[in-house]
Amino acid sequence: MALMQIAEPGMSPEPHQARLAVGIDLGTTNSLVATVRSGAPVVLPDAHGRPLLPSIVRYRPDGRVEVGYAAQARQAEDPKNTIVSVKRFMGRGVKDVAHLESAPYDFIDAPGMLQLRTAAGVKSPVEVSSEILKVLRERAEISLAGSISGAVITVPAYFDDAQRQATKDAGRIAGLNVLRLLNEPTAAAIAYGLENAAEGTYAVYDLGGGTFDLSILKLTKGVFEVVATSGDSMLGGDDFDQRVFCWVVEKAKLAPLSAHDMRLLLVKAREAKEYLTFHGEARITARLSTGEFVDVVLDTETFCSITQTLVQKTLGPVRKALRDAGLSAEEIKGVVMVGGATRMPQVQRAVGEFFRRDPLNNLDPDKVVALGAAMQANVLAGNKPQGEDWLLLDVIPLSLGIETMGGLTEKIIPRNTTIPAGRAQEFTTFKDGQTGMSIHVVQGERELVSDCRSLARFELKGIPPMVAGAARIRVAFQVDADGLLSVSAKESTTGVEASITVKPSYGLGDADVERMLRDSFEHAREDMHSRALAEHRVDGQRLIEATRAALAADEALLSPEEKNSILAAVAGLEKLVPGTDHRKIKKAIEVLNRATDEFAARRMDAGIKRALAGRKIGSL
Amino acid sequence: MHNHFDLFGLPPAFSIEGEALERSYRDIQSKVHPDRFAHAGDAERRASLQWTTRVNEAYRTLKDPVQRAKHLLELHGVDVAFETNTAMPPDFLVQQMELRESLEEAKTPNALDEMRKTLRQEKAALEKQIGNAIDSKKDYAGAAGLVRKLQFLDRLDEEIDSAYEGIE
């Protein structure tokens, strides 16, 4: 279901007016929203002219929510209810998160994904993230004076399926039509590549607040092809703060700290880290709630030595990505630096030494991802004429597979496979008369299932009783352009077929998402109705326009009868769109979609034939 | 079964022109990729997803020498039978065992680099033989044996990857 924010119900965008599309960098530390204005990407600032929105959400006892600078100002005062770096918890369970003990929150160990107890009730990281997205959506709507037709939200390339799904759900709950999840290093490569007309093989080194990505891309004539990606979704600038924090605690011989003091010192540690980028030493002072006064001086040399292992840790994924790409460091034409944490001189130095060339720093490492996302959103919204747009070929970061006998992983789609990707594998029963099979979907590179991330479990029932090994169970994986997986299984020897489609879940069911959606709109029923109506009207109008355009271009592919049945479905929908029954509109949309199924397939075939014909003429 | 060569408008041969394959792949992707249909109706989006998936799979198959040869042999009705036919010439097996022993002893990146270099040369030589068997001699049954050998070498290549990770 695509949710659209509409200024006035019934208003649909003018057919030839550019659709308002935004790119959102939902960062661990800061978030941004950008759009393309008169052909150039720009970051949209808030009413005070500030481009960044600190990714901090505070839940007040009265139920009100503060986001950004207001929440940041209260983080030491109200640490339990002020959630910082929520991205680290997306799609994660309690046992997956490092340094949980030094995060001053009241965690609840829920299946699949942890939750946080706040003054305003129990919150999922998805809901917390959606508060940040809502503020950015409102900022864009005010700034662009219109409703947003779609958004591209960026995610770390190394995010697994659960983390991606959580991000997409957060977008839906924030009322955004998520056109695509885009990998952060890929977004940066678009912004960098187009700005500098770059051609060749580039690496993007993206060290953010909480995640590290390394992607290798081949840039050729308007095609951005990711060759390999690697990273660590639990490594970022926050870990450097953590090291400084631990150093202060040890240096000042502090007793176990309260949540308030912990947050206070973490803030001081971050400030010291940032100060050291341009200075030789940083003084850290703080008055603790115990009355104790902390006053220590951290110099660059000590800072480098306590964080050296973190910097080294980033080079492992760098080597791995190069190996996967079959390239040596010398074959990389340039290394684009992304993420605020790459400002640290020791990071710049380590990357420079590894690749034996100066890293590229000519784009603002805080903004480049949002700018690239805005450019991609503009293309996806259809605002670029054919020929001027570009093609983006991305990959999945981690192998997908299922559990087989003995707790071993059988990989079905290997890492670095270009998406969308699909593959099927056959399995069989191991007991005589076995009528059911449990399918466990996992993601990761390790051989043992217990070392991989569990994405979903489901049962295939109704297999006809046969001797062991006779059944043929075909498990099919499909990864879409967002990098999201769906799985289906089917038994097909005796003509009896059972199949099921699962969407990997991280503990939030569809019902939970629906509830969060409802909660996020104050006047539940009426509001839901008018939203549904507005959204189906837009969808319907869009489909009518798209179908008419398709008919105008490729009418020749249809027989007169086929054309008439499509036209009848168009007319049926068109009659209902101005009405007020959103269910009827939805039905008519489905009818038109079904009526154009075959036409769409034929158009796609014809497109390929044209592409090949063009190639042959071109190469003569 | 789909003929992946037809899809890209290429002659069905083991020796392929990499650039022509790449160009053709990109031309097709620029027509069918989901990014071109982000605002289209469900029917078109579904068709786009199916096509892109198929084109990606075909491209991956043709880019990889083992998979390309396997596909080509299947088009000629010969099953490479990786799972069932594990019979290998004894001298080849002895050589493989020796290589794996030296892999276990290789504890430095330099030693691994050296092994990989030798392996890549062997692979290139084997690929040349496969091309000769399929494209010139049309000896498909003979080629199947060579392809199985090449797959052995591919596995060793993967083990070298893990060895790098082990010492890092």
CATH code (residue A80)? 3.30.420.40
Residue A599 lies in a domain: yes
What is residue A505's predicted lDDT score, i.e. its pLDDT? 57
Q: Which of A19, A379, A417 comes nearest B60 by C-beta?
A: A417
What is residue A499's predicted lDDT score, i.e. its pLDDT? 61
Q: Do A292 and A374 have their domain in common?
A: no
Domain chopping of chain B, boundaries: 4-63, 90-167
Contacts of B9 in chain A (CB under 8 A): 612, 615-616
CA atoms within 13 A on the CB side of A354: 24
Residue A341 lies in a domain: no
Q: Do A535 and A448 have their domain in common?
A: no
Per-residue pLDDT at B84 exceeds 80: no
Which one of A253, A288, A305 terminates a domain? A305
Question: With the C-alpha atoms ordered A172, A178, A180, A181, is the resulting torsion angle positive or negative?
Answer: negative
Residues of A with catalytic roles: 25, 87, 184, 206
Residue A353 lies in a domain: no
**CB atoms B38 and A610 under 8 Å:** no
Residue A513 lies in a domain: no
Residue A332 lies in a domain: no
Residue A272 lies in a domain: yes
Contacts of A604 in chain B (CB under 8 A): 31-32, 44, 47-48, 51
What is residue A407's predicted lDDT score, i.e. its pLDDT? 87
- Would you say domain B4-63 falls under CATH 2.20.25.240? no
Q: Which of A420, A550, A611 comes nearest B27 by C-beta?
A: A611
What is residue A529's predicted lDDT score, i.e. its pLDDT? 72
What is residue A534's predicted lDDT score, i.e. its pLDDT? 77
What is residue A526's predicted lDDT score, i.e. its pLDDT? 56
**CB atoms A420 and B165 under 8 Å:** no
User: Tell me, what's the ipTM?
Assistant: 0.91
Contacts of B124 in chain A (CB under 8 A): none
Q: Which of A381, A593, A616 comes nearest B41 by C-beta?
A: A593
- Interface size A-B, in CB pairs within 8 Å, comes to 120
Contacts of A599 in chain B (CB under 8 A): 43
What is the pTM (predicted TM-score) of this model? Answer: 0.87
Q: Which of A482, A615, A619 to mutate to test the interface with B (most CBs of B within 10 A)?
A: A615
- pLDDT averages per 10-residue partition of chain A, 620 residues: 36 54 96 93 96 96 92 91 94 82 84 89 94 96 89 96 93 91 96 88 95 95 93 93 95 88 93 95 94 94 96 95 94 95 96 96 92 95 78 94 88 95 88 85 88 84 83 89 88 68 58 65 57 80 87 90 92 90 89 89 83 52
**CB atoms A421 and B53 under 8 Å:** yes
The residue type of B31 is K
Q: Do A372 and A428 have their domain in common?
A: no
Residue A59's beta-bridge partner residues? A65
| A421 at B interface, C-beta within 8 A | yes
Q: Do A53 and A145 have their domain in common?
A: yes
Q: Do A430 and A405 have their domain in common?
A: yes
3-state secondary structure (DSSP) of residue A509: coil
Contacts of A608 in chain B (CB under 8 A): 7, 28, 31-32, 51
Q: Do A249 and A378 have their domain in common?
A: no
Q: Do A481 and A597 have their domain in common?
A: no
Cα three-residue angle A320-A324-A329, rounded to 5 degrees: 65
Domain that holds residue A105: 21-187+366-387
Number of domains into which chain A is organized:
4
Q: Do A492 and A430 have their domain in common?
A: yes
The CATH number assigned to the domain with range B90-167 reads: 1.20.1280.20
Q: Among A118-132, A412-426, B94-108, B113-127, whose mean pLDDT is lowest?
A: B94-108
CATH code at A277? 3.90.640.10
Q: Return d(Cα B60, Cα A537) in angstroms, integer.
A: 41
Contacts of B24 in chain A (CB under 8 A): 611-612, 615
What is residue A386's predicted lDDT score, i.e. its pLDDT? 65
CA torsion, points A460, A461, A463, A465, in degrees to nearest 10? 130
| A546 at B interface, C-beta within 8 A | yes
Q: Which two structure tokens, joined as six digits, stand for A94?
A: 């309690």
Q: Which residue of B has its CA nearest to A317?
A: B165
Name the burial class of residue A595, with classes exposed (0-12), middle (13-18) and buried (19+) by CB atoms within 10 angstroms of its CB.
buried
Residue A595 lies in a domain: yes
Q: Which of A419, A420, A614 comes nearest B27 by C-beta?
A: A614
**CB atoms A422 and B20 under 8 Å:** no
Q: Which of B22, B42, B159 to mutate to test the interface with A (most CBs of A within 10 A)?
A: B42
**CB atoms B41 and A596 under 8 Å:** yes
CB < 8 Å & 24+ apart, contacts of B12-20: B12/B72, B12/B75, B13/B72, B13/B134, B13/B135, B14/B65, B14/B68, B14/B69, B14/B72, B14/B130, B14/B131, B14/B134, B14/B135, B15/B131, B15/B135, B16/B62, B16/B68, B18/B63, B20/A619
Question: Phi and psi of B163, rounded to 5°?
Answer: -65, -40
| B160 at A interface, C-beta within 8 A | no
Rounded to the nearest angstrom, the minimum Cα separation between A175 and chain B is 17
Please enumerate in sequence order all residues whose Cβ is within 8 A of that of A371, keeping only pairs 6 or more positions apart, or say none: A23, A34, A41, A42, A43, A187, A191, A363
| B59 at A interface, C-beta within 8 A | yes
Q: Do A31 and A144 have their domain in common?
A: yes
Q: Do A436 and A534 have their domain in common?
A: no
Q: Which of A323, A420, A543 comes nearest B34 by C-beta?
A: A420
CATH code at A406? 2.60.34.10
Q: Do A382 and A428 have their domain in common?
A: no
Q: Do A412 and A272 have their domain in common?
A: no
Residue A501 lies in a domain: yes
Please enumerate in sequence order all residues whose Cβ is within 8 A of that of A46, keeping only pairs 6 or more positions apart, or say none: A53, A68, A139
